[in-house]
Structure 1
Amino acid sequence: MRFRYLRADHSLLGGLWDIDAGSVETAESIYSTFILQELVRLADSTSHEASGYKSALIIGLGAGLSARALHQHQVEVTIVEIDPVVYDFARRYFAVPKPTGGAFLEDARAFLRRETERRYDYIVHDVFTGGSVPASLFTIECFQDISRALTPTGIVAINFAGNTSSVASQLVFSTILSSFHHCRAFEDGAHTTDYRNLVFFCSPSSPVVFRQPLPSDYLPFPSPLMREKVFNEFESAEMDLSGVKLGSVVHDGSERELEEAQRAGVKEHWELMNGVLPLETWAMY
């Protein structure tokens, strides 16, 4: 089968099954993680029709599959992406529409500090790449900026991948749970190692509850069958956060602790990626 990936270093930022030989707009997503992030729309904070939600901030575009879906739901999408090439390729090769809320090719911290008047109903925070996360976007202060950027009933989805028992993961979990009053986390699909892809859904103000999906939530394309499956089965993959012990957290100025702790995870991630695609795919790395 034909497929298309967007790669940065040894990370896959997204991919599509190019079944119809070029119909990128309707191609199926290879990964369900990005569909899991769309659950921000199902947060039951206002109404069962989710009509109160109209704006979204995407921090870290990747291949833009979450941005595409939110755009189809007529959400005003604002994109912040530090790498202009990622933005260009997502638009050119993955059919990401021009964001109605604007595209800002800069560091997300600079954007959040400058755009203090903007408020979003949901924020998708997905900056994982190369087996690690930029520590400056996982500090208490960064999550405080994100909380301020949310509407009173807003929800943030935070993507993270790593070995859940590692020091790095415990630092990230403790920082997220110390930053928001209410969080739930869900694993993306089956796993054969201790390496997990998780999406945290957090609110600074109210418990995170999801409404039942409607037929319109599945969208006609891309990936309606995968979207229906994810939306109806995600709660069975919920991670029990009650066992997470709150310990050290990451602050501005102490990012090096997380950076150092992630080194082992980078190697583990690289080994996993070597098993996903043949080595020829990584020849330019």
Structure 2
Amino acid sequence: MRAMAKQAQASRNSPVFPITLGFSKLLALFKAVVLLSTASIMSYASQIALAPVYGGIPTSLYHSKISAFVFAAAWVAKYLPFKLPFRARNLLPVLSLYVPAAQRTLARHSDSWGPFWGPIITEGVTFYPLLFLTVYSTAHLANFGNLAADGIVAGVFAACFWNIRSLVSKHLVNRIGSSWILTRCGLPNLAGGIYALVSPSLLFLTAIPAILHTSMYNSMCTPTAGLNETLAASNYTLLARQESNTGYISVLQHNHQNFRVLRCDHSLLGGVWESPPPGFEYVSQGVKEPIYAIFVMLEAVRLVDPPPKNPNPKALAIGLGIGTAVNGLIAHGVETDVVELDPVVHQYATEFFQLEENHTAYIEDAITFVKRENNNKGKDRKKYEYILHDVFTGGAVPASLFTMEFFVGLRDLLSEDGVIAINWAGDLKLKAAKSIVETVRTVFNGCRVFREDMPEEDTDKAAVDFTNMVIFCTRSSDPYTFRAPVDADILGSIARRNFLFPQFEINLDQYFGVSGGPTLLSESNIDTLIGWQETSALGHWAVIRTVLPPVIWENY
């Protein structure tokens, strides 16, 4: 306390900032900026490393709030009367290089910790201590010996940290996986190198075991025979994997039941039976059977009666997955365009799930595509008789693709007698479901909503009603029905025979009622849907853990 009192007295007798900054002080400030920038890289690296184990939303739920608290605590810590018994900067490269190994070890406890505490505990051991020592070192490097000046500097450096963190995410997201250094394991090694340049020390030698483990033995970081040996104990084999702009993408195959799935972080984008599913071995397959029925229900756009007048209809698919619905449309001669943000998803759908080649793929953001095509007023202006909108993953949807503005853009691409099918999964008891349905109904006409299956209990009494549903809408206000599928529609598929025709319609007025008008989603209130989906994502984590065993999610 005496030291703090003396420093406060000195600050009152000194100017807010020194009149001149010598070379040594400028160098110290430069080092401080580099340290914070490196911590920003580690913040992003930590998030993408935990997403395959806990999902993107649970991982980020409290990351920013805890990081802000750690930042403030570390800056205040420099005023304490005692100092750390070591030079904090010398520990930073060592801690950074041990992060992948620590995360690999802690991931094995994810099933017992759950999606709420798991990310907090893991980053409490790995990232937050690193952030504390980084900010602590920065505060000492940027010390002006003046409380007023230090307060201003603290605010400037805090803003610097958050802005750089945002820029790192923005500029790296589309480069993740392009080289080893730009991966969830490569970035901590990059950060360790930068930390070591700022503060070289012989202590760095203690990180050699971590470097060897990351480069040779850590299955999360490098292909190892041990990974498939571990997965084989649960009857799975990893066929391919790569980090990409939407997350960690991999292809897994069950060795005994012969189904194959496409994984994105802590979610599944789809899957197929490589041979007829158990109990149907006698059936001659026309096409590979999907493991999820909801994807074939999207193909029911072809069953809408009356159908579009164009004898050669065109289709647009927003979101690809493994291409189940897209392949179904192509098989019926429908000229199909696909808009998929992730190039690896498209690559793996083609290589491992037999996505038909005769389609046009646009590997870009759907908002960019829709705006560009609507601005095209020439003869090449696109119009579609069928639009499929399926972008659900990780217990959530990209909120920007569920706004009124985006749906208006899709409506303008839909022909006058066309039909759109929108897939959404979630708890119908939550506000998000009602707002999404009502936003869609505000833009389109003739909307009918079908759930994947009948609820297991009375929906009026149930506390939770989680389901997959498809919203079918048209531009016209004329009523329509769905014709019964014929053999040609089925494509020799068991799933299509049982689930292509929409069966379980939701009475929207009865289910949602009219009290408490829903929030119509738009670009101005997009954060509303993002907030609502936090609860849904935590629930989805528990559901998806029952689809594949925990060891599969933890060993990637």
TM-score, normalised on structure 1? 0.90
CA distances 1:155-206 after superposition (whole Å, capped 9, x unpaired)? 0000000000112222212211222121011111355562110000011213
Q: Tell me, yes or no, if the aligned pair for 2:449 and 2:505 is still in contact at 8 Å.
A: yes
| Whole-angstrom CA distance in 1 between matches of 2:276 and 2:302 | 29
- Of 321, 340, 343, the match for 1:84: 343
Higher fraction of helix: 2
CA apart distance, 1:247: 2.0
Supply the AA of the counterpart residue of 2:483: R
Closer, same or farther in 2 for the Cα pair 1:284/1:149, shift >3 Å? farther
Is 1:270 the equivalent of 2:526? no
Q: Tell me, yes or no, if the aligned pair for 2:314 and 2:335 is still in contact at 8 Å.
A: yes
| Whole-angstrom CA distance in 2 between matches of 1:108 and 1:270 | 26
| Whole-angstrom CA distance in 1 between matches of 2:505 and 2:388 | 18
Is 1:123 the equivalent of 2:387? yes
Identity of aligned residues (%): 37
Q: 2:272: which partner in 1?
A: 16
Q: Which has the larger radius of gyration?
A: 2
- Of 284, 287, 292, the match for 1:31: 292
Partner SS for 1:57: strand
Q: How does 1:186-201 map to 2 (within 5 A)?
A: 186-192=450-456, 194-201=465-472
Q: 2:481: which partner in 1?
A: 209
Q: Tell me, yes or no, if the aligned pair for 1:58 and 1:67 is still in contact at 8 Å.
A: yes
| Whole-angstrom CA distance in 2 between matches of 1:156 and 1:10 | 28
Supply the AA of the counterpart residue of 1:238: E
Q: 1:178: which partner in 2?
A: 442
Is 1:105 the equivalent of 2:363? yes
CA distances 1:90-126 after superposition (whole Å, capped 9, x unpaired)? 11110001243x1111111110110122100000000
Supply the AA of the counterpart residue of 1:230: F
Is 1:255 the equivalent of 2:526? yes
Higher relative contact order (CA 8 A, sep 6+): 1
TM-score, normalised on structure 2? 0.47
| Whole-angstrom CA distance in 2 between matches of 1:150 and 1:133 | 22
| Whole-angstrom CA distance in 2 between matches of 1:78 and 1:259 | 28
Partner SS for 1:213: coil
| Whole-angstrom CA distance in 2 between matches of 1:103 and 1:183 | 28
CA apart distance, 1:266: 0.2
**Equivalenced residues, count:** 275
Is 1:227 the equivalent of 2:496? yes
| Whole-angstrom CA distance in 2 between matches of 1:177 and 1:266 | 25
CA apart distance, 1:51: 6.8
Structure 2 unpaired stretches of 5+ = 1-256, 278-284, 375-380, 457-463
Q: Tell me, yes or no, if the aligned pair for 1:184 and 1:208 is still in contact at 8 Å.
A: no
Structure 1 unpaired stretches of 5+ = none
Q: 1:154: which partner in 2?
A: 418
| Whole-angstrom CA distance in 2 between matches of 1:140 and 1:266 | 23
Closer, same or farther in 2 for the Cα pair 1:74/1:201, shift >3 Å? same
Supply the AA of the counterpart residue of 1:109: I
CA distances 1:68-93 after superposition (whole Å, capped 9, x unpaired)? 11110011010000111111111111
